[in-house]
Structure 1
Amino acid sequence: MSHRNFIWICLLPLVVVTAAFFLLPMAQLLAVGAGGSRGVSAYLAIITEPRYRATLINTVVLAAATTIATLVIATIAGLFLQRHRFPGRAVLIAMLTFPLAFPGVVVGFLIILLAGRQGLIGAITAAVTGEKVVFAYSIFGLFLGYLYFSIPRVILTVMAAVQKLDIGLEEAARSLGASPWAVQRDVVLPALGPAFVASGAIAFATAMGAFGTAFTLATNIDVLPMLIYTEFTLAANFAISAALSIGLGVIAWAILALARSMSGGAVAAAG
């Protein structure tokens, strides 16, 4: 067997899987989106229709806010956990990454237990002030849910990047009189830039497409995954739901592609 034939035989399973589970479904989705009464213009509905446009804005703003907050929290926690050893460190890391084992519905249920109508925060505020505070079903509740499952993904990336940093650069900066804050600002954070871009893109794309948490919590706010679900199941509007799905996928793909180009191709697919 020639070397070329061997390569083709090795690539055959990849070609079959790619065609069966990506190319053919995507082609069918494109066809369905363009096959409705609106035709190809259905793909512009996400921008031209006020309801769809408002939902897109809500989704992008929520995903961006989740990404920024996640990067701030995970960077501080990741730097501390990677640079310090203390009793209970392994348990703390396990607790911070434990949400990776939860589906979105469970995360939404946890937020309801915390800030729902019968939640812990509502019980405490009702006992203290006489007025129950409930925000699980608002954009802030959804933000907390997205934040909950985004932090583990980012903190693991940040910790791995911190572990690879050259400590000698920090020591050199200190020897030249740099303050601890200056070392972090001018040496550590710039060195972690590719990790921020990669993990931030994953957090953004994941928040854009998260369905389970939105399904549980998004009663007072529209986000694209829920809008696609309602158009498909309740309105039986297959063309619009397919077009919205393509629009959501294009936005998430564009963010990942941009991050991949900025970080030298180190961005993985969103989980």
Structure 2
Amino acid sequence: MNRETTLPGHEPASRHHNPLLLACLAPATAFFTAFWLLPAVLLVALPAEKGWQTYFLVLTDSRYMWSMINTTLLSLVTTITTLLIGGAVGIYLARRRFAGRQVLLSLLTAPLAFPGVIIGFFIILLGGRQGWFADLGSALGMGRVTFAYGLTGLFLGYLYFSLPRAIAAYTAAADAMDPQLEEAARVLGASRWDITRDVWLPQLAPTTVACGAIVFATAMGAFGTAFTLSSKFEVIPITIYNEFTNYANFALAASLSITLGLVTWAVLFFARVAGTTSSGA
């Protein structure tokens, strides 16, 4: 029978470390409780003040339901487009070495520093009532062409906001791919499509899943860009903002926030499961 033995006057190290670990955890625990756990509990409890049916208004009221559908579909289209363009550009930049490559990569990822409001302003400068396209259309006799304040403007704004993240992620992932696998496939007579399907896609799958989840979650909760551009197309963050700011309907705003959080959390959860599965495959 083995027993823990200690020298006289010495205690096990774990007994000395436990108080220190607790002291280190205390600030983090207090911060987590005060600024996440408590607000989350209050948010979940708030709709109950007006009855349990408030939790399900997003399913029973057509206006809120369509706002959620609009947001989800726009986020899905933005995510798919971002992954396709970002993947193509990222892989190209990772596999090609040319003069000015680093400058180009820096320019492509520069929008990471811009908030959503600035990106919305960029879209307005292009497709707003006083934008470049409006001036061009007027000069060509086509009238003042605008697209900034509806679905097209929102999509372009979301895409502009998301692409730099995808390009940076795919460039790093493509740089880390094992070139020997591709070379072996070429020696065995694999076509370009076979290499893309059997070599590139499996190695880039974790990046695709993780990047797609982040882009989708960001698009679902985007406020600055939507606030600037969504005068003709309502999305759920603007609906929530209107409910608690313009109408002081805090219970309904909380209910919509819970729904938005659940949808986004579900996507992130399944993306994590899928990423774990693809990494272990």
What's the TM-score once normalised by structure 1's chain length? Answer: 0.93
Name which one, 1 or 2, has greater alpha-carbon Rg: 2
CA contact (8 A) 1:58 1:222 kept: yes
CA contact (8 A) 1:215 1:226 kept: yes
The 2-side partners of 1:12 and 1:40 are apart by 36
- In the alignment, which residue of structure 2 is the partner of 1:155? 167
CA RMSD of aligned residues (A): 1.5
Q: Determine helix, strand or coil for the equivalent of 1:263.
A: helix
Counterpart selection for 1:136 from 135, 148, 152: 148
Counterpart selection for 1:111 from 123, 127, 134: 123
The CA deviation at 1:265 is: 9.1
- In the alignment, which residue of structure 2 is the partner of 1:269? none
Alignment size in residue pairs = 264
The CA deviation at 1:204 is: 0.2
1:101 aligns with 2:113: yes
- In the alignment, structure 1 segments of 5+ residues that lack a partner are 267-271
Counterpart selection for 1:217 from 223, 229, 250: 229
- In the alignment, which residue of structure 2 is the partner of 1:183? 195
The 1-side partners of 2:92 and 2:133 are apart by 29
The CA deviation at 1:254 is: 1.0
- In the alignment, which residue of structure 1 is the partner of 2:47? 33
Counterpart selection for 2:28 from 14, 20, 40: 14
Q: Determine helix, strand or coil for the equivalent of 1:51.
A: helix
Deviates more, 1:25-34 or 1:137-146: 25-34
The 1-side partners of 2:275 and 2:19 are apart by 35
In structure 1, what residue type is equivalent to 2:219?
A
In structure 2, what residue type is equivalent to 1:86?
F
Q: Deviations over 1:2-33 (max 9, x none)?
A: 23333222222221121111101111111222
Q: Determine helix, strand or coil for the equivalent of 1:87.
A: coil
The 1-side partners of 2:266 and 2:277 are apart by 14
CA contact (8 A) 1:34 1:243 kept: no
In structure 2, what residue type is equivalent to 1:203?
V
1:74-85 matches, within 5 Å, as 74-85=86-97
- In the alignment, which residue of structure 2 is the partner of 1:2? 16
The 2-side partners of 1:229 and 1:138 are apart by 18
* Identity score, percent: 51
The 2-side partners of 1:52 and 1:256 are apart by 23
CA contact (8 A) 1:98 1:152 kept: yes
In structure 2, what residue type is equivalent to 1:65?
V
Q: Determine helix, strand or coil for the equivalent of 2:276.
A: coil
The 2-side partners of 1:209 and 1:61 are apart by 13
1:48-87 matches, within 5 Å, as 48-87=60-99
